[in-house]
A and B are shown apart, each in its own frame.
Chain A
Amino acid sequence: MNPQSTLPPTPAALPPKTGDPSAPAGPGPKGPRSEVRFFAGLGHVALAVWAVIVIVPILWTFLAAFKNTSEIFSSPWTLPAELRWENFGRAWTKAHVGRYFLNSVIVVSCSTFLTMLLGAMAAYVLARYKFWGNRAIYFLFVSGLAFPVFLALVPLFFVVKNLGLLDTHTGVVLVYTAYSLPFTVFFLAAFFKTLPSSVAEAGMIDGCGHSRLFFQVMMPMAKPGLISVAIFNIIGQWAQYQLPLVLLSNAKDKWVLTQGIADISVNAGYEADWSGLFAALTIAILPMIIVYAVFQRQIQAGLTSGAVK
């Protein structure tokens, strides 16, 4: 019998605020209480340890970004002797992180915009209009969820090449959009189905055309769903590595951030510029922390939206 469910909690019955796995187990009669304490204590330690495991590598990278190479080797765990901002300058211009960053921003903003526009249009029509072939087109889109990108990699490379889009941002944007459509259509079609049809009917009676109804009535109503999918797509497309690796291989000035950082890490070995690499990593990670800190709730909801029915 758990005393906490029947008695008002006494201070002793509360789980300790700080973890202490070695807390002695109480004597016999207090069994359940000590079990709670032990469990909570152990849990706190485990949680704190995992938090440290997550934070320390990132924090360590930020610190190393201010060090010089000899410091990185002699004292990897100490604070930098001085703040060497020039490491960031070197990473930004000489290692072209600035360029890569800008490329990523351009590509992902274009492709997410296009994904949302085309995905919402297709999903809306498939969800709310009856016509011949509706189901077939819907399943065509959804079947894309089951195929690994690697199956299509070789033919995709030649399709893009034959269209003259190899080593261009246009090609990458179109490919990102195409591969984002299955999930976007799948999710948004389900969302558009839940919207009440009374509003749409009222709009129709007022003489609203099909496209005006979509852009001015349905899109604003679908805003929560659109935001979730947009976040899902932004983060997914920002993280892409294999597609740009194949599609932009010969145009180094068009590379995206993931590609660029991976390349810098290879070159850092030859040039022994470890601090530059740490600075480059910091430039890649820090903006994500800021964005995550601001939109934490929306990002968690957006990324898990695929898994929650």
Chain B
Amino acid sequence: MRHGKYPFVIGFLFAPVALYVTFVIWPYAQAFQISMTNWRGLSAPQWVGFDNYRRLLDDGAFWKAVQHHGVLLLALPLITIAIALFFAFLLNVGGKSSGGQRQGVWGAKFYRVVFFFPQVLAVAIIAVLFQMVYRPNESGLINGVLMKFGLEPVLFLIKPNLALWSIIAVLVWQAVGFYVVLFSAGMASIPGEIYEAAEMDGATKVTLFFRVTLPLLWDTLQVAWVYLGIAAFDAFAIVAVLSVDGGGPDGATTVLAMEIYRNAFVYSKYGYASAMGVALFFLTLTFAALTLRLTKRESVEY
């Protein structure tokens, strides 16, 4: 029966492993090496040690990008999770309870379907859509209304201190539905008797939410935080398409991915771009490790 196991195993693994090593592992390994060179693509790369990293420290655009990741990292998960939790609670336990059966509010199914839809669209498409929505004259969705009422148009993407928040709003717009569905799945697995017992003890909906739902949903929240954090470290498509001149105005919305792309494929500074890539990698890794460490606590068994 065991006859021919190894030829089979090797036959099945060869193609996937070869493809994966060629296009994923090998480039990742090379990135670290290229980041130590001054390679511009034409002549042979020269070893420069940590020079690129030293230059990163004095690069204003790099620090702006890192700062924007900091804002994204706090705002995106906080806002998205708060809104999604609120809606998921309403949709699952917000309604009346009949016979111990928890019910969501009326129309819960419809809301869940509608909220989730933006998740199906590509971020680049959404970015173009919101270019229209945010347009600074009467042809924009929002400013068209404001100007009809004789108000000044809001320059969503042009004002430096507003542009990043306009972009965050779009990311939240897309993400909320996904987390509503995710949290709904988590809430559905909380036994109804727990809610019933709490209500018998006179708990209000607000108490239910903070004392029952939230602690029992801790693992799912942690997953959501990691996901949104990773999204906050990417944000390339939205910034590249939606912001004015790729990270503008004047670098007010730039992110590391944007700077890597610009340095590599516009300025051909391959070594420098790779150093940024390595920095991005360590930032992502630090975030993931910190999150898992800080949010670790006794999960409630039920």
Contact = CB atoms under 8 A, between A and B. Distances in A.
Contacts of A144: 20, 24-25
Given A77-B145, A122-B17, A137-B17, A64 B23 contact: no
A40 B115 CA distance: 19
A281 to B, nearest CB: 6
A174 B256 CA distance: 26
Contacts of A304: 178, 181-182, 185
A177 B13 contact: no
A251 interface: no
A191 interface: no
B119 A303 contact: yes
Nearest to A130: B5
B214 interface: no
A151 B113 contact: no
A47 B87 contact: yes
B23 A156 contact: yes
Contact of B125 (A50, A51, A178, A258): A258
A178 B130 contact: no
Nearest to A240: B122
Contacts, number: 294
A184 to B, nearest CB: 9
Interface string B220-259: 1001100100000110110011000000000000001100
A151 B105 contact: no
A239 B124 contact: yes
A44 interface: yes
A174 to B, nearest CB: 6
A105 interface: no
B205 interface: yes
A85 interface: no
Contacts of B12: 121-122, 124-125, 211, 214
A50 B16 contact: no
Interface string B1-25: 1001110110111011101111111
Contact of B16 (A119, A235, A240): A119
B294 interface: no
B165 interface: no
Interface stretch (A87-95, A221-229, A259-267): A259-267
A10 B105 CA distance: 17
B147 to A, nearest CB: 9
Interface string A24-58: 00000000100110011001101100110111111
B137 A73 contact: yes
B196 interface: yes
Nearest to B268: A154
B58 to A, nearest CB: 21
B237 A242 contact: yes
Contacts of A147: 24, 28, 281
Contact of B173 (A54, A119, A307): A54
A150 B34 contact: no
Contacts of B288: 146
**Most central of A73, A150, A274 by chain B CB within 10 Å:** A150
Contact of A153 (B6, B173, B264, B285): B264
Contact of B6 (A131, A209, A296, A303): A131
B209 to A, nearest CB: 10
A179 B87 contact: no
A174 B16 CA distance: 11
B90 A242 contact: no
A121 B140 CA distance: 50
A152 interface: yes
Contacts of A56: 141
A4 B96 contact: yes
A2 B240 CA distance: 52
A265 B256 contact: no
Contact of B9 (A40, A129, A246): A129
A148 B31 contact: no
Which 5 A-B residue pairings sit nearest by Cβ, starting from the closest?
A239-B122, A178-B23, A76-B144, A155-B30, A155-B27
Given A40-B105, A118-B16, 11 more contacts: A51-B115, A54-B115, A57-B133, A76-B139, A137-B17, A148-B284, A154-B31, A156-B23, A157-B264, A175-B23, A265-B131
